[in-house]
């Protein structure tokens, strides 16, 4: 510890006012505070002691909660590769393929995003905000494994710049940064983020009878052609196994999809971590699942098309629903900020997700657009909750 | 007799170094000081004495040109040894070298039965010239009350729920009659009621439960249940244009003594507390005492911070500094100028946290565990990110996050609508403690109050 401290102390003068790299102080500070908690003490007036929590720890908690999704997702890339190409591979080989494919995406996402963050940090003279540590990990988890790296870089830069920095940086943004990146890719380069892009094949050819679509796409197509959704799912990729898209596979995540989104189970583990630590709002998570389920049940009753007739609980496990509900919707900056508002916000995301999925064949994935839309409306929800608070105060005054 | 109000929200900070209920044998400090900076609202102080003058306890030392009737008086008799000024000649301290025997100014004396018969104007005049008036604080703004105004009601919180706070049941033991007289006097100042907030968490103090001429309200809950602002909010909330006065139990006793004994008695029992005090206990002294005698040979080695008041709302003072006018507590905690290696992520049960983010395991300890907390900021200043936390430690129907943002944006209408009149610093001190982004919320709130007051 001592020698690390010495390195920092020795080089600090270079970055301080008048030093050679004065302008790079934010950069220096970022690394120093990564090792050592600053020796700053509370001011002489006001609270003399502070809670042990800080933003670094909070953000780290989110990253820890994402780890199950990340690890499972990495392995699943290799696993799907093995299934699609028909090769027999050991667990380690599958994991290795996953790492080779995924790691560059993660590295590019962080490198691109942190570069923008540092430039703004240096310009504004503040050290790095920890928020991007989470966004930088979320972006790789919501893209297909076959995504070109330059697109990852471009989308990340766009998201940090337009999604966050133009609004004033961390804490001021209106849209979730990772979803902004995802939406950018979706609308700018649709061919690389839809269709048969969900399974990494490398230079291998897939086995005969393999189709690379996601469960969402299959459900969508079935509905358009008037076929039963469950039967269509059951008859897809029978060459690999008879129940490739069985409910349990959908729940556990042994299916193709975005790198980190396929497993509802892993997202739920993340949800448990977020809820226990209090870092993510359980009201939002419960709201999204509840809203989606009830809407789907209602659709079951109406039953106007095949997609509407799909059992309601399937909605909770297909696509990125669980991942979005747990990690995207709960972003405290872009979600509703009042406690009642969080319920409304969550429930509306759930409702919108199912509506978009069922009625809008152009966008098979509903959760992304539902969250982005509700990000925009979150301040409006809060506005009315806060207004009610003000109203109560006025009423008390006149009593 | 009283109704009970249960508060669910809040957070108790259980620190090491509680004062043992014992009054220590100790010499009185040589010097005492009146610090104009203790009184919010003194904008243009005018000193009435000069260095070398001799004064008695109750001799006026200064007044504010904005409110000339309110006199700030000497707590002890002796010689004025220094009038200390800071930058721009700002008045900081008026120091008195105390006599061995304190001699008091003589004021008119009343019998217990006469107290209830005194005229309102006479009551006010006596309180103004004797030095007890500044005990009365006006809400909104938390400033010294203006004697020309009439409050809709008066509130007294009879317990302090701050960390390591003194036990009034102990420090005011035997002063029941004075307290009753004080309440009787205060009743004359308002057409409304005098309200007492009682501690419902344990056995209630007999000093306050039998008080007549006042309405009693019992409060059960964690800190800030003892904050008078929280109690007002649940009984008689402050709206725009309302005026409420508050006063601490010690101030009430002081008023009672003034009327029954005819003197300004600034003697008080203070608690010396905190993890760095070797034997935390109570001391009998006077308002504005220098702390040097109490801490001599009684503080652990290493760099420590002396605080006049408690760790949430107090002020850092020097080892030869003076206890503030409103404080009955000195807290000594370690200064936290160390930079802990990977301190932001290592799991720990030793660091107290309201949160349960990864590695913050203090919630496993149970509520009896006593913590040693230093003054380190334990993080860096950041923009607001986490939401909903301030609301969890504020047992009032206010939204602190929105109010703070409105203040930062200097949006007057919004500040008013969100209830800035109901709050002073102590009411959001817990928010400042739990804040992930380490804002100085009390300072921000004060800025907001100043903006509104001067608008």
Digit-coded pLDDT (tens) for B174-219: 999 999 999 999 999 999 999 999 998 887 778 898 898 999 999 9
pLDDT at res. A39: 85
Q: Same domain, yes or no, for B95 and B158?
A: no
First to last CA, chain B: 43
The DSSP line for B386-429 is --SHHHHT--SS--HHHHHHHHHTT-HHHHHHTTGGG--GGGGH
pLDDT at res. B339: 82
Q: Same domain, yes or no, for B98 and B111?
A: no
CB-nearest partner of B358 from A60, A129, A131: A60
* A195 pLDDT higher than 80: no
Question: For the residues B102-118, what does the mean pLDDT come to?
Answer: 90
Question: For the residues A153-160, what does the mean pLDDT come to?
Answer: 96
Q: Same domain, yes or no, for B213 and B166?
A: yes
> Whose CA is closest to A146, among A85, A110, A182, A194?
A194
Question: For the residues A289-301, what does the mean pLDDT come to?
Answer: 96
Q: Which of B11, B355, B390, B421 should we substitute to test contact with A (largest number of A Cβ atoms within 10 Å)?
A: B355
Q: Same domain, yes or no, for B199 and B77?
A: no
CB-nearest partner of B357 from A33, A277, A397: A277
Q: Same domain, yes or no, for B154 and B97?
A: no
Indicate whether B136 belongs to any domain.
yes
The count of structural domains within chain B is 3
Please give the interface size between A and B, counted as residue pairs whose CB atoms are below 8 Å apart: 216
Whether the CB-CB separation of B187 and B221 falls below 8 Å is answered with no
The DSSP line for B242-275 is --EEE--HHHHHHHHHHHHHSS---EEEEEEEST
Q: How far apart are the C-alpha atoms of B150 and B152, rounded to whole Å?
A: 7
What's the token pair of residue B145? 């009350």
pLDDT at res. B2: 66
Task: Provide the percentage of residues in chain B whose pLDDT is more than 90.
Answer: 82
* Mean pLDDT across chain B: 93
Indicate whether B222 belongs to any domain.
yes
* B337 pLDDT higher than 70: yes
Whether the CB-CB separation of B388 and B416 falls below 8 Å is answered with no
Indicate whether B363 belongs to any domain.
no
Least confident span in A172-186, A196-210, B239-253:
A196-210
Q: Same domain, yes or no, for B206 and B96?
A: no
* Mean pLDDT across chain A: 90
Indicate whether B182 belongs to any domain.
yes
Are residues B356 and A46, on separate chains, in Cβ contact within 8 Å?
no
Q: Same domain, yes or no, for B91 and B131?
A: no
Task: Provide the percentage of residues in chain A whose pLDDT is more than 70.
Answer: 99
DSSP helix/strand/coil, B106:
coil
pLDDT at res. A113: 94
Q: A246 touching B, CB under 8 A? A: no
Chain B (224-253) residues lying within 8 Å, Cβ to Cβ, of chain A: 237, 239-240, 242
> Whose CA is closest to B442, among A232, A48, A385?
A48
Q: For B312, which residue in chain A has the nearest alpha carbon?
A: A47
Q: How far apart are the C-alpha atoms of A330 and A245, rounded to whole Å?
A: 28
- pTM of whole model > 0.95? no
Task: Provide the percentage of residues in chain B whose pLDDT is more than 70.
Answer: 100
Summarised one tens digit per residue, pLDDT across range A4-17 is 878 888 887 888 87
Are residues B341 and A35, on separate chains, in Cβ contact within 8 Å?
yes
Summarised one tens digit per residue, pLDDT across range A334-393 is 999 999 999 999 999 999 999 999 988 777 788 999 999 999 999 999 999 999 999 999
State how far the alpha carbon of A197 is from the alpha carbons of A98, A209, B67, B148, in Å.
15, 16, 77, 79
Burial A56-95 (b: 16+ CB within 10 A, else e): bbbbbbbbbbbebbbebbbbbbbbbbbbbbeeebeeeebb
A310: closest CA of chain B, how far (Å): 37
pLDDT at res. B360: 87
pLDDT at res. A98: 95
Whether the CB-CB separation of B180 and B212 falls below 8 Å is answered with yes
Q: B377 touching A, CB under 8 A? A: yes
* B1 pLDDT higher than 60: no
CB-nearest partner of A386 from B315, B374, B402: B402
Instruction: Write down the H helix ranges in B262-327.
Output: 292-295
pLDDT at res. A399: 58
Q: What is the CATH number of the domain that holds B60?
A: 2.40.50
Summarised one tens digit per residue, pLDDT across range B272-305 is 999 999 999 999 999 999 999 999 999 999 999 9
Q: How far apart are the C-alpha atoms of A69 and A179, rounded to whole Å?
A: 17
Whether the CB-CB separation of A141 and A323 falls below 8 Å is answered with yes
* B17 pLDDT higher than 70: yes
Whether the CB-CB separation of A330 and A284 falls below 8 Å is answered with yes
Least confident span in A162-166, B78-82, B144-148, B247-251:
A162-166
Q: Same domain, yes or no, for B231 and B90?
A: no
What's the token pair of residue B57? 């306890």
Are residues B343 and A36, on separate chains, in Cβ contact within 8 Å?
yes
Are residues A49 and B316, on separate chains, in Cβ contact within 8 Å?
no
B153: closest CA of chain A, how far (Å): 14
Give every CB contact of residue A122 below 8 A, 6+ residues apart in sequence. Answer: A23, A24, A26, A27
Q: Same domain, yes or no, for B45 and B151?
A: no
Q: B86 touching A, CB under 8 A? A: no
Q: A56 touching B, CB under 8 A? A: yes
Chain A (139-198) residues lying within 8 Å, Cβ to Cβ, of chain B: 169-172
B323: closest CA of chain A, how far (Å): 14
Q: How far apart are the C-alpha atoms of B308 and B194, rounded to whole Å?
A: 29
- Domain end call among B105, B130, B159: B105
Element (H, E) at B361: none
DSSP annotation of B64 reads E
Name the CA dihedral angle for A150, A156, A162, A166, rounded to a multiple of 10 degrees: -130
Indicate whether B150 belongs to any domain.
yes
* A218 pLDDT higher than 90: no
Summarised one tens digit per residue, pLDDT across range A44-79 is 999 999 999 999 899 999 999 999 999 999 999 999
First to last CA, chain A: 63
Residue A281's pLDDT band, with cuts at 50, 70 and 90, is: very high
* A209 pLDDT higher than 90: no
Are residues A51 and B354, on separate chains, in Cβ contact within 8 Å?
yes
pLDDT at res. A49: 95
Q: A37 touching B, CB under 8 A? A: yes
Are residues B362 and A35, on separate chains, in Cβ contact within 8 Å?
no
Q: B352 touching A, CB under 8 A? A: yes
Q: B274 touching A, CB under 8 A? A: no
Beta bridge partners of B332: B306
Whether the CB-CB separation of A267 and A326 falls below 8 Å is answered with yes
* B431 pLDDT higher than 70: yes
DSSP helix/strand/coil, B68:
strand
User: Radius of gyration (Cα) for chain B, nearest Å?
Assistant: 22
Question: For the residues B22-40, what does the mean pLDDT come to?
Answer: 93
Q: Same domain, yes or no, for B383 and B451?
A: yes
Question: For the residues A217-225, what does the mean pLDDT come to?
Answer: 84
Least confident span in B12-21, B196-205, B239-248:
B196-205
Q: How far apart are the C-alpha atoms of A107 and A101, rounded to whole Å?
A: 11
Sort strands B304-308 and B31-34 into parallel, antiparallel or unpaired.
unpaired
Are residues A53 and B398, on separate chains, in Cβ contact within 8 Å?
no
Indicate whether B348 belongs to any domain.
no
Measured at the CA of B199, the angle between CA B13 and CA B38, to 5 degrees, comes to 65
CB-nearest partner of A42 from B375, B418, B425: B375
CB-nearest partner of A389 from B341, B383, B399: B399
Q: A333 touching B, CB under 8 A? A: yes
For B58, the domain range is 31-105
Our separate counts of H helices and E strands in chain A read 17, 0
Least confident span in A96-105, A200-209, B421-430:
A200-209
Are residues B380 and A33, on separate chains, in Cβ contact within 8 Å?
yes
- Domain end call among B82, B105, B128: B105
Indicate whether B38 belongs to any domain.
yes
Are residues B379 and A54, on separate chains, in Cβ contact within 8 Å?
yes
Q: How far apart are the C-alpha atoms of B180 and B255, rounded to whole Å?
A: 10
């Amino acid at each position: 510890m001592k020698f690390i401290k010495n390195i920092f102390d020795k080089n600090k003068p270079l970055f301080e006012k008048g030093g050679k790299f004065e302008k790079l102080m934010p950069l220096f500070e970022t690394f120093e505070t990564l090792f050592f908690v600053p020796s700053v003490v509370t001011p002489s007036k006001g609270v003399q002691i502070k809670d042990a929590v800080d933003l670094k720890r909070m953000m780290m908690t989110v990253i820890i909660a994402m780890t199950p999704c990340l690890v499972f997702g990495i392995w699943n890339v290799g696993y799907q590769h093995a299934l699609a190409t028909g090769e027999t591979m050991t667990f380690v080989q599958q994991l290795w393929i996953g790492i080779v494919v995924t790691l560059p995406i993660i590295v590019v996402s962080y490198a691109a995003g942190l570069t923008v963050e540092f430039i703004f940090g240096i310009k504004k003279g503040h050290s790095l905000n920890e928020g991007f540590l989470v966004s930088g990990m979320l972006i790789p988890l919501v893209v297909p494994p076959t995504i070109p790296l330059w697109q990852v870089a471009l989308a990340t830069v766009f998201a940090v710049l337009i999604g966050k920095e133009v609004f004033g940086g961390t804490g001021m943004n209106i849209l979730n940064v990772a979803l902004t990146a995802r939406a950018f890719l979706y609308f700018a380069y649709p061919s690389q983020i839809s269709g048969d892009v969900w399974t990494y094949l490398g230079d291998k050819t897939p086995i005969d009878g393999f189709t690379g679509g996601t469960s969402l796409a299959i459900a969508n197509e079935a509905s358009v052609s008037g076929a039963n959704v469950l039967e269509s799912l059951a008859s897809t990729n029978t060459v690999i196994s008879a129940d490739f898209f069985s409910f349990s596979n959908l729940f556990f995540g042994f299916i193709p999809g975005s790198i980190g989104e396929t497993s509802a189970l892993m997202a739920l583990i993340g949800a448990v971590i977020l809820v226990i630590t209090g870092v993510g709002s359980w009201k939002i998570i419960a709201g999204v699942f509840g809203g989606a389920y009830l809407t789907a049940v209602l659709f079951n009753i109406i039953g106007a098309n095949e997609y509407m007739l799909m059992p309601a609980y399937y909605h909770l496990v297909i696509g990125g629903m669980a991942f979005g509900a747990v990690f995207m919707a709960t972003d405290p900056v872009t979600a509703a900020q009042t406690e009642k508002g969080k319920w409304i916000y969550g429930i509306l995301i759930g409702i919108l997700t199912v509506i978009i999925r069922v009625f809008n064949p152009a966008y098979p994935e509903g959760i992304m657009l539902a969250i982005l839309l509700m990000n925009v409306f979150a301040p409006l929800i809060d506005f009315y909750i806060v207004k009610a608070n003000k109203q109560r105060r006025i009423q008390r005054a006149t009593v | 007799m009283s109704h009970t109000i249960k508060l669910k929200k809040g957070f108790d900070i259980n620190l090491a170094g509680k004062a043992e209920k014992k009054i220590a044998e100790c010499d009185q400090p040589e010097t005492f000081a009146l610090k104009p900076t203790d009184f919010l609202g003194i904008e243009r102080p005018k000193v009435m004495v000069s260095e070398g003058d001799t004064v008695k306890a109750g001799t006026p030392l200064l007044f504010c040109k904005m409110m000339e009737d309110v006199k700030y008086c000497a707590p002890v008799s002796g010689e004025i040894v220094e009038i200390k000024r800071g930058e721009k000649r700002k008045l900081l301290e008026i120091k008195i070298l105390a006599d061995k025997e304190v001699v008091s100014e003589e004021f008119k004396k009343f019998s217990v039965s006469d107290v209830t018969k005194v005229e309102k104007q006479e009551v006010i005049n006596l309180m103004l010239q004797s030095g007890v008036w500044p005990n009365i604080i006006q809400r909104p703004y938390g400033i010294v009350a203006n004697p020309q105004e009439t409050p809709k009601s008066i509130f007294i919180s009879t317990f302090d729920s701050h960390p390591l706070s003194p036990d009034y049941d102990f420090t005011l033991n035997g002063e029941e009659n004075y307290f009753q007289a004080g309440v009787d006097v205060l009743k004359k100042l308002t057409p409304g009621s005098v309200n007492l907030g009682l501690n419902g968490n344990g056995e209630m103090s007999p000093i306050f439960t039998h008080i007549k001429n006042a309405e009693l309200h019992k409060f059960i809950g964690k800190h800030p249940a003892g904050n008078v602002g929280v109690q007002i909010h649940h009984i008689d909330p402050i709206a725009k244009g309302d005026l409420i006065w508050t006063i601490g139990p010690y101030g009430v006793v002081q008023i009672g003594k003034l009327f029954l004994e005819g003197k300004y008695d600034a003697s008080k029992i203070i608690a010396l507390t905190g993890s760095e005090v070797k034997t935390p206990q109570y001391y009998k002294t006077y308002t504005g005492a220098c702390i040097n005698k109490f801490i001599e040979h009684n503080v652990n080695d290493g760099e420590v911070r002396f605080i006049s008041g408690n760790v949430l709302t107090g002020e850092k003072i020097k080892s030869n500094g003076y206890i503030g006018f409103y404080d009955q507590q000195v807290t000594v905690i370690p200064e936290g100028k160390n930079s802990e290696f990977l301190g932001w992520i290592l799991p720990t049960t030793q660091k107290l946290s309201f949160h349960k983010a990864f590695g913050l395991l203090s919630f496993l300890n149970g509520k009896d565990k006593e913590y040693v907390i230093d003054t380190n900021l334990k993080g860096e200043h950041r923009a607001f990110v986490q939401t909903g936390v301030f609301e969890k430690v504020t047992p009032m129907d206010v939204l602190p996050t929105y109010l703070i943002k409105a203040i930062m944006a200097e949006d007057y209408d919004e500040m008013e609508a969100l209830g800035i009149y109901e709050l002073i610093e102590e009411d959001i001190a817990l928010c400042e403690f739990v804040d992930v982004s380490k804002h100085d919320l009390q300072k921000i709130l004060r800025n907001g109050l100043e903006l509104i007051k001067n608008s």
